[in-house]
Amino acid sequence: MAEAAAAGSGGIPRGFPRMALYVLLGFSAGLPFYMFSTVLSVRLADHGVVLAVIGFFAWVQLLPTFKFLWAPLLDKYDVPGFARFCGKRRGWIMLSQLGILTSMVAMAVFSDDASLPLTALFAVLLAFWTTTLEVAADAWRIELAPTPEEQGPVAASNLWGYRTAMVAAGSGALLFADVAGSLSATLRSFGIEPGWTAAYLLIAAGAAVPLPILALLPRAPGCGGGRGAALATGLLASAGILLAVATVTATVGWVILAAATGIGISAGTNVLPWVLGIAMLPFLLLAAALPWIRDAAPDSPIRASTAVGPYADFFWRYGFLAIAVLAFVSVYRMGDVLALNLSKPMILALGYTKTQIGWADGLVALGSSIVGVGLGGWMVTKWRWEVTLSIGALFAALGNFGFVWLAHQPIDQNTLYLATAADQFGNGMAGAVFVVYLSMLVNPRYPGAQYAFLSGFAFLLARLLSGAGGTAVTWLDNAGYDGFDVFFLASGVISLAALLFLPVLANATPRLDDREPA
């Protein structure tokens, strides 16, 4: 009873710094992200994998785009054991952290990338559990801070944690992986041999830090049972869930690879036309289904369904403006996503070392990102969202243009610092205002599912195109152009192109919910 009484609303204990919790949740989700994206692309390049195949690995990042497929499960079901004491949201976060830990340990064990399908399997598992954690954490955040005034500082705190962890993981992993770098002697003095195995194991240890903190928080409101029994049962249930997910993922991956081989897709295949065609399908299907959804009654199967009801609700409220909203969110962060996968291979190709890149990410990127996130969070509390989104897009574009500038400068650590600072400042600012904008589109009746859908759809087109980035750069080089220059110039222009949607969306107002309050 004393533990239950000590807990405040939403399962946060009274006296526990609320903003610290949001930083912690952001840290939990951000730490693994670079390990299956940017850091993995450097690792593959370090092992001599061709640029086109490195581009294909960017499709691992598509998994977060489809998180809406399993997000309703997190709203409806509890994690056995953990939820008995920790509640629904904390239980899912703890399960996800166990999945992140085991996936990164597996990536460390097979860090030589001798089997690329095996590397892809563990990267996909890491992406899946990282995404599941984000779904649970986003739902908890929206439940605890449902208004724009609350979301500004909350989103900033969450993104501070997220981007701090991303930068720390990206920087630390590169420093730990460089066998001749400035930290190699220090690592060896502790009996740790620098390399990719050490890099992934050390980041995995960091990813495990929030797990005991969440487990030791007081009992969530409405929960019963003892802590020890709940945690023991939760660990056993989690082991079964992790094994089942890994088995299903391996099976699906084998089927996809066999199908790709069967139709002749290889590192030399121009996949861009396929990617563009697939990217257009969601918009065409939505346009066809909207009239039916728009006229659906509150008790109709499509709106009452647990599986599709949360998503139908979004289109019912916004009507045909939903297509414009989805087009805008698909383009707004596209430049950043396109740059993410190939920026580090480009910098390596210029002649910079893993240690130089690591120090740039650690010394400069973190501070620049925190400043950008803070300014973005402050702007959304002061100005209209059209203004804040415009400023964010401008600085994101300047960050991408900075890579083109870097490519034409002599190799110098300070030059790398400047380009890194511009990129991370723009990403942080655009990310902060974008999170708040997406949060305000959500119906509080379905916070987890709708935010998962919107944030996932926002990166669908970008991540599809990102997978073809290596192929595009190679094709441009073969055609006589500087492939990286054209690629990063185009990514910056795309960030600015999102502003063309703002006049259409400025007065977009959703229909009022016609059902009884949930």
- Cα distance between residue 60 and residue 466, in whole Å: 10
CA-CA distances (angstroms) from residue 444 to 48, 139, 367, 461?
48, 10, 33, 26
Question: Could you state, in chain order, the average pLDDT of each consecutive group of 10 residues for the chain (518 residues)?
Answer: 44 61 79 86 87 82 77 83 82 91 94 89 94 83 64 72 79 84 83 90 87 81 79 90 94 83 65 62 69 76 72 81 85 84 85 86 81 86 84 90 92 91 90 85 77 79 78 81 87 88 78 65
Count of positions (residues) in the chain: 518
Which pLDDT value is given to residue 6? Answer: 43
For 218-232, give the DSSP string: PPPTT--S-HHHHHH
Q: pLDDT per residue over 344-382, tens digit each? A: 888 988 888 888 888 887 778 878 888 898 888 888 888
Other residues' Cβ atoms within 10 Å of the Cβ of residue 431: 22
Structure tokens at 22: 């949001």
> 388 with 156: CB under 8 angstroms?
no
> 133 with 100: CB under 8 angstroms?
yes
Which pLDDT value is given to residue 128? Answer: 94
Q: pLDDT per residue over 77-133, tens digit each? A: 888 888 888 778 888 988 999 999 999 999 999 988 888 889 999 999 999 999 898
Query: Between the CA atoms of 32, 36, 42 and 45, what dihedral angle is there, to the nearest 10 degrees?
Result: 160
CA-CA distances (angstroms) from residue 134 to 8, 97, 471?
22, 11, 30
> 470 with 51: CB under 8 angstroms?
yes
This prediction has a pTM of 0.72
Other residues' Cβ atoms within 10 Å of the Cβ of residue 150: 15
Q: What letter does residue 7 receive in the DSSP assignment?
A: B
> 434 with 457: CB under 8 angstroms?
no
- Decide: residue 452, CB within 10 A, 0-12 exposed, 13-18 middle, 19+ buried: buried
Other residues' Cβ atoms within 10 Å of the Cβ of residue 238: 22
